[in-house]
Structure 1
Amino acid sequence: MTQPIILLILKALEGRGAERMVTTLARAYVKMGYRVHVLCLENTQEMILDSRVQHHMVSYNEPLFEQEIEQVAAYKAVAERIDCYVVENIGKPDLILVNIYKLNWIMAYSQLPNIVNVLHTALSRQFKDKLSRAPDHTIAHLKFVYGTHPCSCVSKGARKDLIALIGNISRTTTIYNPCDVDEIKKAALQLPDIEQFGLTLKGYIIHVGSLDTMKGHRDLLQAYARTDRKLPLVLVGKGKLEDEIERLSIQLGIKDCVKFLGFQANPYSLISSSALLVLSSKFEGFGYVIVEAQALEVPVISTDCPFGPRELLPEQNLVPVGDIDALTTLINEAMSNLSKYKAPLNQQMLPNHIAYQYLKFGQNY
């Protein structure tokens, strides 16, 4: 009997939430006995795939065009290349999960069966500028991209946002990102050793996320500067705002209390050894690092940003976005009573549950 085939498609195996979802889900499907394939457009590989997962690359050679008509032609050509490659080298997948807007657009032109788009963020936020400049055109474009195949959103808030923006024009559902507790705990026992960064066990506060505007590092540093700063603040991640955030730490007089560790392929030992994890985002599609902290039984507080944290944490663990005073107060309160801000992981987020939800949703296509 031929093993069923699962295909997961994304731009590259970079170290962000969507890529963590793909690697976790791929491993879950392998354990369930599926033939699992991951197909990327770029060769960047910061995330490690299970050795039983087959990794493929179909190069995207075209530049990004200013004219949409040229971009459409380029993406149609890429979709055709992907279709031919899959048919010749993989076969007929029983389920294809397509991650990230760029791939969602490309695969709207695909002729392959059983495609489900996975939305990792809120479209209204992702396309805020374009919706402001050209709302009718942008909405029409998004209706095409996300009306062609069924869509799964990683939070209820992101799904409501999708429907509010383009209407209920395709089948939609909410499927949270999977959290592999066993693998996360295993990874937490591996390098990097926190001592190499001058850190001590439960002796620091941590933030994990790319250094870009949506992650709210400016608010976090301003709030942290107003605390008693008994513990240093550790920032894990890379991004275009790194120099700006480092300059801000100097301006606030907290440079000696803030450690910039850059991207870490395995952040779990750093999370596990921290006293408190803080998420300060302006918006999220899900908030992956929250459930990872929960898996490691680390206290976690967050901004009540759209759209993930309020679905993952109790109200006492949340503060309004942009309220620096409230974030300062919550950091101080959490440091005074850490156990109060531990929140249990929802067991429905374990990988096998999530894998079955995608299969069920895809089978009803």
Structure 2
Amino acid sequence: MPTTLFILKALEGRGAERMVTTLASAYVKMGHSVHVLCLEATQDMPLDANIHYHLVPYDEVFTEQNFASESKQAQAYKAVAQRIDSYVLSHIGTPDLILANIYKVNWIMAYSRLPNIINVLHTALSKQFEQQLLDMPAQTIHHLRMVYGAHPCSCVSDGARNDLLALLGNITQTTTIYNPCDAAWIQSQALLTPRIEPFGLRDKQYIVHVASFDTMKGHRDLLHAYAKTARKLPLVLIGKGRLEAEIKALVRQLNISRDVIFLGFQSNPYPFMASAALLVLTSKFEGFGYVIVEAQALGVPVISTDCPFGPRELLPNENLVAVGDIDGLARLIDKAVNARSRHTVPLNQQLLPTVIAQQYAAFALSAKASGSKD
């Protein structure tokens, strides 16, 4: 029985974590022994009962990133990698495939001696490290080459892969593998609780935005644009995060409190997505844009900023608007509300989990055969 291991920071309710839980379930169905190893105990997302969950806490908090190879941060991460290696070999064995998710884990696993590791790049490095590249370009490039040159790397969009290659060069074997979308499971979850009625919502009578309250998710642009629309439908915001109080203050400042509803984090957002008239994504940058394909799986119209890099690979031009174009976003929201069928895009069946799982397995074999460092 093949053994597949996913490593990530925690099971938080974000796109990378949705990718892990979806893909892990697919490997279970394919007969793999599947393990998820986290560095933090936060668990917002449930795991399939047949998936083995492991916690190897790293117990280190760093207020500043220090990329120097001998910094306290680097030394601590080397120690964490050693603990992970020891734990995996003792409790799991030698996995046939290890998917390391999120930059912090990619950095830690650069020091790992386990075989068969693939880094999964979920975002655009040039955007994620934009400030560091301005402040200390040589040190940042050197650090990122160390992190992403350590193992083969799969990127969740062509844009993210091209960004990696343009920034760091051809330092390792790379490929593009989109995030999986379990349409059947999403549709089944949409039929479960919570129901929308207790929240004062009516079917197909609201717009929804699902994202953590973080700068990159573009809540400020969304609210400024929404304030300029006809506001035929209320705007529902699902998520949590450090900027939530600031966003609520902006809603009051724009005098749109009657039309904006905050629902907080929802472990099952799909009933709210399925019943929406329109889903809007307003990110500054994305690696993929998970909610787009989830909306497609539910048959919900979806529009998005044409941010780097995922949305343009998932949606036609008429469903996209330039990042920062507040007036254009307002017009597109009104247009989509009035012509919903024109902005409904079917799900690409190549995104189904078993297809994506097979692509990772094939890439791992290719990387091994080519003699890439792993």
**TM-score normalised to structure 2 length:** 0.96
Q: Which residue of 2 aligns with 1:355?
A: 357
Give the residue type in structure 2 aligned to 1:194.
I
Q: Which residue of 2 aligns with 1:161?
A: 163
Q: Which residue of 1 aligns with 2:251?
A: 249
Give the residue type in structure 2 aligned to 1:18.
A
Superposed displacement of residue 63, structure 1: 2.8
Match of 1:105 among 99, 104, 107: 107
| Deviation sequence 1:290-342 (CA, Å, 0-9, x none) | 00000000000011111000000011000111111111111111111110100
Q: In structure 1, what is the Cα distance between the partners aligned to 2:123 and 2:282?
A: 16
Which residues of 2 match residues 246-325 of structure 1 at below 5 A? 246-325=248-327
Q: Which residue of 2 aligns with 1:175?
A: 177
Give the residue type in structure 2 aligned to 1:58.
V
Q: Which residue of 2 aligns with 1:114?
A: 116
Which residues of 2 match residues 62-73 of structure 1 at below 5 A? 62-64=60-62, 66=64, 68=68, 69-73=71-75
Deviates more, 1:60-69 or 1:122-131: 60-69
Q: In structure 2, what is the Cα distance between the partners aligned to 1:216 and 1:106?
A: 29
Q: Which residue of 2 aligns with 1:51?
A: 49
2:6 maps to 1:15: no
Q: Provide the secondary structure at the position in 1 that maps to 2:178.
A: coil
Q: Provide the secondary structure at the position in 1 that maps to 2:280.
A: strand
Superposed displacement of residue 65, structure 1: 6.8
Q: In structure 1, what is the Cα distance between the partners aligned to 2:61 and 2:192?
A: 39
Q: In structure 2, what is the Cα distance between the partners aligned to 1:205 and 1:80?
A: 47
Q: Provide the secondary structure at the position in 2 that maps to 1:39.
A: strand
Q: Provide the secondary structure at the position in 1 that maps to 2:81.
A: helix
Q: Provide the secondary structure at the position in 2 that maps to 1:206.
A: strand
Q: In structure 2, what is the Cα distance between the partners aligned to 1:144 and 1:247?
A: 42
Q: Which residue of 2 aligns with 1:209?
A: 211
Q: Which residue of 1 aligns with 2:30?
A: 32
Q: In structure 2, what is the Cα distance between the partners aligned to 1:227 and 1:119?
A: 36
Superposed displacement of residue 148, structure 1: 0.7
Give the residue type in structure 2 aligned to 1:83.
D
| Deviation sequence 1:210-237 (CA, Å, 0-9, x none) | 1111111111111111111111000001
Give the residue type in structure 2 aligned to 1:35.
S
Which residues of 2 match residues 122-161 of structure 1 at below 5 A? 122-161=124-163
| Deviation sequence 1:100-121 (CA, Å, 0-9, x none) | 0000000000010000000000
Structure 2 portions without partners, runs of 5+: 368-374
Match of 1:239 among 226, 238, 241: 241
Q: Provide the secondary structure at the position in 1 that maps to 2:329.
A: helix
Q: In structure 1, what is the Cα distance between the partners aligned to 2:12 and 2:61?
A: 20
Q: Which residue of 2 aligns with 1:42?
A: 40
- Flag the 1:65–1:195 CA change in 2: closer, same or farther, 3 A: closer
Q: Which residue of 1 aligns with 2:372?
A: none
Tell me, yes or no, if the aligned pair for 1:100 and 1:118 is still in contact at 8 Å. Answer: yes
Superposed displacement of residue 27, structure 1: 0.1
Give the residue type in structure 1 aligned to 2:276.
S
Tell me, yes or no, if the aligned pair for 1:65 and 1:71 is still in contact at 8 Å. Answer: no
The alignment-based identity, stated in percent, is 67
Q: Provide the secondary structure at the position in 2 that maps to 1:310.
A: helix
Q: In structure 1, what is the Cα distance between the partners aligned to 2:281 and 2:89?
A: 42
| Deviation sequence 1:266-313 (CA, Å, 0-9, x none) | 000000000000111111110000000000000000111110000000
Deviates more, 1:153-162 or 1:241-250: 241-250
Q: In structure 2, what is the Cα distance between the partners aligned to 1:226 and 1:61?
A: 46
Give the residue type in structure 2 aligned to 1:285.
G
Q: In structure 1, what is the Cα distance between the partners aligned to 2:82 and 2:254?
A: 53
Q: Provide the secondary structure at the position in 1 that maps to 2:147.
A: helix
Superposed displacement of residue 245, structure 1: 1.1
2:339 maps to 1:337: yes
- Flag the 1:65–1:287 CA change in 2: closer, same or farther, 3 A: closer
Superposed displacement of residue 62, structure 1: 2.5
Deviates more, 1:338-347 or 1:64-73: 64-73
Q: Provide the secondary structure at the position in 2 that maps to 1:7.
A: strand
- Flag the 1:165–1:225 CA change in 2: closer, same or farther, 3 A: same
Q: In structure 1, what is the Cα distance between the partners aligned to 2:4 and 2:124?
A: 26
Q: In structure 1, what is the Cα distance between the partners aligned to 2:317 and 2:60?
A: 46
Give the residue type in structure 2 aligned to 1:330.
L
Q: In structure 2, what is the Cα distance between the partners aligned to 1:246 and 1:55?
A: 36
Q: Which residue of 1 aligns with 2:81?
A: 79
Q: Which residue of 1 aligns with 2:4?
A: 6
Give the residue type in structure 1 aligned to 2:146.
F
2:59 maps to 1:61: yes
Aligned residue pair count: 363
